[in-house]
Amino acid sequence: MALATRHWQELEQKYYMRTFNRLPVVLVRGEGARVWDEEGRSYLDMVAGLAVNVLGHCHPAVVEAITKQAGRLIHTTNLYYTTPQLELAELLIENSCADRIFFANSGAEANEGAIKLARKWGHLHRNGAYRIITATNSFHGRTLATLAATGQPKYHKPFAPMPDGFTSVEFNDLDALKAATGPDTCAVMLEVVQGESGVHLGDHDYLVGVRRWCDEQGLLLIFDEIQTGLGRTGKFLAFEHHGIEPDVFTLAKGLAGGVPIGAFLSKESCSVLTAGDHGSTFGGGPLACAAGVATVKTIFAENLAAHSAEIGAYALEKLRALQAKHDVIDQVRGLGLMVAFDLKTETAPKLVSEALSRGLILNATGPRTIRMVPPLIIGKAEVDEAVETIDRLLA
């Protein structure tokens, strides 16, 4: 049956688990910063598949890498060496503070690996300490351990009891973190900018203070760079803004330009996982890693971190001008192309659906907050277009 003649929304209602409140649009194609629905309407995509399509949709470098690799070797196992995996490992290690990497398939899985590494490190070096301190309003994934690490009780409730071993304390409150540290603590895990809860920036003094505290106490510092990494905030990795280095960090989202992938990386000093400790059937597979190599090389070749800093600053400026014009905008914040604004009223979901009907894709992280995490390749013209649409909708 032809595409447009199927009732896709009815099929979803009938067959899919009721886990998503989807917007009423069936997307069938994407190119650059735009996507098209089944009726041929185009949309400016300021969400990029939730911070995934860093090079935009169907970037030629990613399409070519996937196409070539698909004709050569799609999957084998980690029982053998494969070339895209090791090329991507080299690229990420040579361009970061890490010494070793493990590839997974998603952000949650990357964080699970980091948690396992921290726990084993605690067994070996801190008398069996296993507890990890995280922050309120953080987001680390949907598996049971990463959900327990996520400092948002609303996500825990239906699945209680949560796995033991996580304590969440107020973000940007160093004293709270110090007070929560005990003999059973092995690590601290934070986002440099909290994304899912609405783009909340970690304070410079706080992040530097946490690094110092971890050094003093002999704790591992894990940064979850799943949303902030790969140039999104204006640096290749967001912690580079603060002149500090974590012991462990995690990546996913944009790492393979839209193909599922995740990774956790560590310093040699805490690289404690050995044969049999961890594994993955699909993690580090040739197809995803070939897409990853193409994506990361393009990020560097096109200097997309610096571009993200420039366009992000422009977006903040335009949104602040909008704030001066519309009293309903409460606060504007962001770093690079990770941008959000709060409304004084609980109308963010309404604004998102009205924007969609005008050809603009936005994301509401809550009743009052709009988030934009667009492809890093957008220019000022796309920012102008998005801001003009929002302006008209708020008028």
Whether omega before 367 lies within 30 degrees of 0, making that bond cis, reads no
With CB under 6 A as the contact rule, the residue among 112, 224, 342, 382 that binds ligand PLP is: 224
Instruction: Give every CB contact of residue 171 below 8 A, 6+ residues apart in sequence.
Output: 135, 136, 137, 138, 151, 190, 194, 200, 202
- Is residue 224 part of the annotated active site? The answer reads yes
- Is residue 164 part of the annotated active site? The answer reads no
d(CA 363, CA 355): 10
Q: Which of 45, 103, 224, 264 is catalytic?
A: 224
Build a one-symbol-per-residue string for 147-186: x at contacts with ligand PLP by CB under 6 A, - elsewhere.
----------------------------------------
Build a one-symbol-per-residue string for 43-72: x at contacts with ligand PLP by CB under 6 A, - elsewhere.
-------x----------------------
The answer to whether 283 touches 140, Cβ cutoff 8 Å, is: no
Q: Which is nearer to ligand PLP, 83 or 152 (CB)?
A: 152
**229 to 268, contacts with ligand PLP by CB under 6 A?**
252
- Is residue 253 part of the annotated active site? The answer reads yes
Task: Choose the binding region for ligand PLP from 190-198, 238-246, 358-366, 372-380 (rule: CB under 6 A).
Answer: 190-198
Please tell me the count of residues contacting ligand PLP according to CB under 6 A: 15
The answer to whether 355 touches 389, Cβ cutoff 8 Å, is: yes
Residue 107 binds ligand PLP (CB under 6 A): yes
With CB under 6 A as the contact rule, the residue among 30, 49, 84, 195 that binds ligand PLP is: 195
Residue 112 binds ligand PLP (CB under 6 A): no
Residue 191 binds ligand PLP (CB under 6 A): yes
Q: Which of 103, 139, 236, 341 is catalytic?
A: 139
Task: Choose the binding region for ligand PLP from 13-21, 101-109, 214-222, 318-326 (rule: CB under 6 A).
Answer: 101-109
Q: Which is nearer to ligand PLP, 96 or 138 (CB)?
A: 138
By CB under 6 A, name the binding residues for ligand PLP: 50, 106-108, 111, 139-141, 191, 195-196, 224, 226-227, 252
Active-site residue numbers?
A: 139, 224, 253
